[in-house]
Structure 1
Amino acid sequence: MSVLPKDGFLSTILDEWSAETKKSAQKWFSLINELNIAAVAVLPSLELQRSAQKEIVAAALYARALQTFEASVLLTGRGMLADSETLARSVAETAFFLGGLAVINNFLVRMAGANNSHFFKLGYASVELLKRENKSLNPDAAELKQFLDEAKLQGYRENNINLNQLAKEVGMEALYDTVYRQLSGNAAHPSVASSERHIMRGIGGNVENLIFKPQRNGVEKALSVALFAFLSALEAIGVIFKRADIQTTVELYNIRHQALSNELSSRAGQ
């Protein structure tokens, strides 16, 4: 497809492109489809008790990771690789938190403190916004500030969670460096690197055209980073719920993922 139709990536014409792409990367999409079926089946099998706060939060984060993983795969199938990799990065972030719940004592307390810190920052920023927008809103700003000040006096724990440090604590440095950090500049944020996805260069690096169409080159890589991130999240769930069957599943799909990655590298080297 040289150019997109008038309704861009929302066009149903892309369905044919998507079908052809999935056929050309059949092994990768088949692996993901099989994993997804197994991953969805995990959700209703998680045994939750009302008093088990860590497990409840972990199950909710797992649902988030799974849904985001599926969204990443859907976008990859449409050739929207920067967007799919941005979502893969989000899966990695969720995996770090699941890793924290799996191996760090009282990590749920740290999560609560980070949530409180975000709440107060957002609240005080809203106070300043109300003051700037309209002087007639000053009474509302004063009321909100009083509420926040009183809440602070109650001694709510506040802290920030550094993802790089967290990844080291839970043994996910490789996931941080190869997925989260790399995709920060290459996909998630507006940068020189991410803008190159939309620039066609010719001889001497001269700009020839802008690119706004589905991208076939890099589909396998986008699926690979999503797989790596999600399998990390699934592995953490296996530890949290003490599920040996989940650990076995993760090991199996890690082996299959590695085999496909090796095959892809071999083709690229030819």
Structure 2
Amino acid sequence: MMDFDTEGYLSLQMDNFINEITYKNKEIFNLCEDLNRYAQTLKFDIHTDTSKLSQVLIVGLFVKILNSYQAAIILSRYGLCSQANSINRVSLEALFVLRAIGSDNSLAKVLIGEDSKNMEKILRKVTSNKDSVFDNIQSEVDVSDLEPLVQKNKDEDNNILKVEKWAELSGLTNLYLTMYSELSNDVHVEIRNLSQYLTTDSSGIINGISDLPDTTNIPIILLDSLVILSSALESIHTVFSID
């Protein structure tokens, strides 16, 4: 029995898979590593004006994208392509917000308003749910916080924007309609997506499971990663006036 059969992606045998996958896709992996090194160096050239909310948020979003970019590369080396796609979607969503705030500083307050609205939703769920699993949480929550928060959100017209709206505000609607829609298939439970985890015979009858590393779409996955990080870097250069 293979070591992979008993330990899966935690097995020592993964070293062989990683080496093979990296070698077969060495050109694009090298390109990804080059861009990563550039981004890692650039982050030390970012001088944030902490009095500007937009800059603080943009830096946080950029680091989120950069870390996710590295995670997608690591997952791709393991042949965990579906999981890498999920991470790319996380990055792309952050990119929409970063680019939007980068082009309009006033949108920073919209993101803060989203957080306030999310807190209202959480408080409503915790205070209204009678399930015993919430008992400990409810004891830590001050119910009196809810009414003022609701009023605050009404006064400030705080709402949670859909991802599509952030994409529109960022000028990246085309990426939302194409890349984001495709990546979402790996985030949600899609029947077609689940077929990758099954094997069939010549008649199409399911005869087993398939959990080995997937290498079919690695160049496409890494290209998506490159596009996302490159777009984020472009915005960073503009916002922080980096040559």
Q: How does 1:93-172 map to 2 (within 5 A)?
A: 93-129=93-129, 131-133=130-132, 140=139, 144-154=142-152, 155=155, 157-172=157-172
Is 1:211 the equivalent of 2:210?
yes
Query: What is the distance in 2 between the residues matched to 1:55 and 1:152?
Result: 28
Report the secondary structure of 1:6's partner residue. Answer: helix
- The one-letter code of the counterpart of 1:82 is S
Query: What is the distance in 2 between the residues matched to 1:27 and 1:205?
Result: 36
Query: What is the distance in 1 between the residues matched to 2:188 and 2:196?
Result: 12
* Structure 1 residues 134 and 48, CA gap change in structure 2 (3 angstroms): closer
- Of 27-36 and 158-167, more deviation after overlay is shown by 158-167
Q: Is the 8 A contact 1:116 1:156 kept in 2?
A: no
Is 1:61 the equivalent of 2:61?
yes
Count of aligned pairs between the two proteins: 240
Query: What is the distance in 2 between the residues matched to 1:43 and 1:176?
Result: 26
TM superposition shift of 1:133: 2.0
Query: What is the distance in 2 between the residues matched to 1:138 and 1:96?
Result: 33
Q: Is the 8 A contact 1:92 1:233 kept in 2?
A: no
Is 1:196 the equivalent of 2:195?
yes
Query: What is the distance in 2 between the residues matched to 1:101 and 1:15?
Result: 41
* Structure 1 residues 52 and 23, CA gap change in structure 2 (3 angstroms): same
TM superposition shift of 1:138: 11
Question: RMSD of the TM alignment (CA)?
Answer: 2.3
Q: Is the 8 A contact 2:85 2:183 kept in 1?
A: yes
Where does the alignment leave 5 or more consecutive residues of structure 1 unmatched? 246-270
- The one-letter code of the counterpart of 1:182 is E
Query: What is the distance in 2 between the residues matched to 1:17 and 1:138?
Result: 44
- Of 96-105 and 76-85, more deviation after overlay is shown by 96-105
State the match for 2:79 in structure 1.
79
Query: What is the distance in 2 between the residues matched to 1:242 and 1:134?
Result: 50
Q: Is the 8 A contact 1:123 1:144 kept in 2?
A: no
Q: Is the 8 A contact 1:175 1:228 kept in 2?
A: no
TM superposition shift of 1:104: 2.5
Between the two proteins, what is the percent identity of the paired residues? 19
Query: What is the distance in 1 between the residues matched to 2:123 and 2:225?
Result: 34
Query: What is the distance in 1 between the residues matched to 2:145 and 2:124?
Result: 10
- The one-letter code of the counterpart of 2:149 is A
Report the secondary structure of 1:8's partner residue. Answer: helix
What TM-score results when the alignment is normalised by the length of structure 1? 0.81
- The one-letter code of the counterpart of 1:201 is T
Q: Is the 8 A contact 2:126 2:137 kept in 1?
A: no
TM superposition shift of 1:57: 1.2
Where does the alignment leave 5 or more consecutive residues of structure 2 unmatched? none
